[in-house]
Amino acid sequence: MAWRSQLVALRWRYWRRAWPWVLLPGLLFIVRWSKGAGFADAYALMTRPFWPGPAQKEWLQSADYLEQKIKLNLLEEDNIRLRTLLGLQKASKTGFFSVPVIARKPKGWWQQLELGKGSIEGIQSGSAVIGPGGLIGVVQSVTPTTSRVRLLTAPGSRVGVWVARTKRHGILLGLGTNRPQLTFLNKETKVIKGDVVSTSPASTIVPPNLPVGVIQSVDEQALPAPRATVQLLAAPEAIDWVQVQNFDG
């Protein structure tokens, strides 16, 4: 009888240790079969006290209203811009073209951009490219359907400009940044911050007296000639449509 009692005790001890491992596959099967619905319900029941109340609901509704208002404002601004561009296109003279910007390279953001019209539309190499506010570059090359623009901010870009108020001429040099450098031809510039820079009346590359930018700072002591930093009137990084003007200097 003693050995039977020992056997029962051993079996009981074995099942006490083994029953979790026997029960685990069954639980996993139930979770798999029910797709976790029971756990989801239990989690929802436990977290119900922490669910958003009226204040959170109002905040979400306010955020949604603000989002819709911003989208509406953006659509209105885009509509106005497109209407303006359409008006410019209808009013364009011979040799003027409204052209979309279709591509630009991140590594050459301040160097060039691609336009969606080319020689078939009448665009020529050397044409002036004008953004909202002023000159931004010159057409460098054309294909039948596209044009590549070299921006005024591109390294090595050179355009003759002047400050009309003081009648001081110079060369606008691209540096690969958003602000090109104006190197004056005169030792005494007489220019100040805020003076308007435009293309030179003697220019043979682009049409004369196109607005370009404003003087941001002047270094009168620079050698071999005074120079100034220019802020372009038309920001090339934010332009998606341009006007192209053919020019035979």
Alpha helices in the chain (DSSP H): 2-34, 37-47, 54-91
- Please give the Cα distance from 137 to 135 (Å, whole number): 6
For residue 115, give the DSSP letter: E
Could you give the percent of the chain with pLDDT greater than 90? 25
- Please give the Cα distance from 245 to 236 (Å, whole number): 17
pLDDT of residue 216: 93
CB atoms within 10 A of CB 160: 18
Q: Which CATH superfamily is domain 96-249 in?
A: Rod shape-determining protein MreC, domain 1 (2.40.10.340)
In terms of Cα–Cα distance, which of 100, 78, 83, 108 is closest to 240? Answer: 100
9-13, 24-28, 50-54, 117-121 — most confident range: 117-121
Ordered by start, the domain boundaries in the chain are 2-51, 96-249
Amino acid at position 47, single letter: T
Mean pLDDT of 168-179: 91
Phi, psi of 201 (to 5 degrees): -60, -20
25-39, 52-66, 198-212 — most confident range: 198-212
CB atoms within 10 A of CB 244: 25
- Reported as type and span, the H/E element at residue 214 is strand 211-219
- Band of pLDDT at residue 184, cut at 50, 70 and 90: very high
pLDDT of residue 136: 92
- Please give the Cα distance from 177 to 73 (Å, whole number): 31
pLDDT digits (tens, 9 = 90+) for 35-91: 555 555 565 556 555 555 555 455 555 655 665 665 566 566 656 655 555 554 544
Report whether pLDDT(170) > 90.
yes
Mean pLDDT of 111-137: 89
Mean pLDDT of 16-38: 58
- Reported as type and span, the H/E element at residue 162 is strand 158-163
Report whether pLDDT(31) > 60.
no
Cα 57 to Cα 64, 117, 124, 148: the distances in Å are 11, 51, 59, 52
pLDDT of residue 91: 41
